[in-house]
Amino acid sequence: MKKIVCNTGVAAIAAFLLASVSHAAHGQADFTRWSPTPPMGWNSWDCYGPTVREHEVKANADYMAEHLKQYGWEYIVVDIRWFVENDKPGGYNQTNPRYVMDEYGRYTPAVNRFPSAANGKGFRPLADYIHAKGLKFGIHIMRGIPREAVTRKLPVKGTRFTANQLYSSELLCTWLADNYTVADVSGGQEYYDSLIELYASWGVDFLKVDDISRPYHTREIEMIRKAIDKSGRHIVLSLSPGATPVTAAEHVSAHANMWRMVDDLWDVWADVVSLMRVARGWFPSVSPTWPDCDMIPLGRLAIRGERGEDRPSRLSPNEQRVLMTFFSIFRSPLMFGGDLPSLDEFTLSLLTNNAVLEMHREGREPRLIFWQNEKVAIAARRDHSSERYVALFNLSDEEATASVRLSDIGIDGDGEYLDMWTGELKGRAQEAISAQLPPHAAVLYSVKPLK
């Protein structure tokens, strides 16, 4: 280990430690170190909707550990309603849901779907299985307190409060009736504290909280942030769905690791273009927390899920590359939505391109250069390097040429550029880089200056 003898270096370290202590004392900022690069993982929603089972989660974890972990993929996330015994694919069973919860009004896994949760073990055995593979475990929850807990007047663990003292019927979720709002009253924070304490005891590393960004629930976001910080566990906080208001950028960056910019993104070209349009307002907020493009709807989808039948992604190969190019240069979290064990070779190649994933980790300051006549250019720089990245998109239905000046991406003089998807060295560029693009297509280049 190299010794630091420079007084300036010592002073810098002291300042860094002092800032860290100050941030921790105020209950924030340390959490940004828990995901210093955008999180990468798998989420069960796009292929299993509200019905995923333990053996399916394990199968996806097994595949990730064997084929994707080496590329930086690490989170396995169980999405919505893991606490309901009788949900059905293709829609929520809201007529007579059989909820599972503990004596303190906290949902617990349905044992008929997650057998290892029996005897009060919760998700701990599944989390242990995933952790043993060198991966991390996450779950989805709805904001609020269960209606059933309110009806039964269940106690809040460690307090004198009961659930019926904490709820509000204002700002209820419009698409799912499981929960009430947690009111800004005494006991509300304690309920969220007890919830996160339970998740921490299970070994949860990632928490996706739904119905919280649109409309933007400032107070409940703050309660959840405080509860995670109090738990002592490094739980990455993801807020959903979008569109998170851009006017909340400062607040959301100070409380969450990632947040959705749009509603659900599906394997529809119009959804991809709409996402890119919305993202234009979020470029300044990228890093050290992450505007989220949503799950990646590629591979095999809707096995028992939403929005259609069991199918391969309806996006063409060119459209899939557009999606992955944008997600990667924008530095969105990468949460794959398809079934991993069913991956085809082309989709796998999009998830394991070392050059693209290196840009996703080490790129800095992504920015929109232009958006004109459905031709788009986005650039970023590589950290601690003169190398630059540029993506050119043709979003139109006709073939088109897209060009960008080297000076606009931070290259003075000529540059040498490489196609990051194919690995092909394209050669020397003078003043500008151009690409002839078919409809719904993109190219992604790394550019190095030439003296």
Which pLDDT value is given to residue 305?
A: 74
Q: Which of 56, 47, 100 is nearest to 297 (CA)?
A: 47
Q: Which of 370, 376, 315 is nearest to 346 (CA)?
A: 315
Which pLDDT value is given to residue 261?
A: 98
- Going along the chain from its start, the domains and CATH numbers come out as 30-352 (3.20.20.70), 369-450 (2.60.40.1180)
**What pLDDT, in 10s, does the model give residues 104-124?**
999 999 999 999 999 999 999
**What pLDDT, in 10s, does the model give residues 332-355?**
999 999 999 999 999 999 999 999
Cβ neighbour number for residue 323 with a 10 Å cutoff: 25
Q: Which residues of the chain have pLDDT under 50?
A: 1-28
Which pLDDT value is given to residue 96?
A: 87
Which pLDDT value is given to residue 94?
A: 62
Which pLDDT value is given to residue 93?
A: 60
The reply to whether the predicted model has a pTM over 0.85 is yes
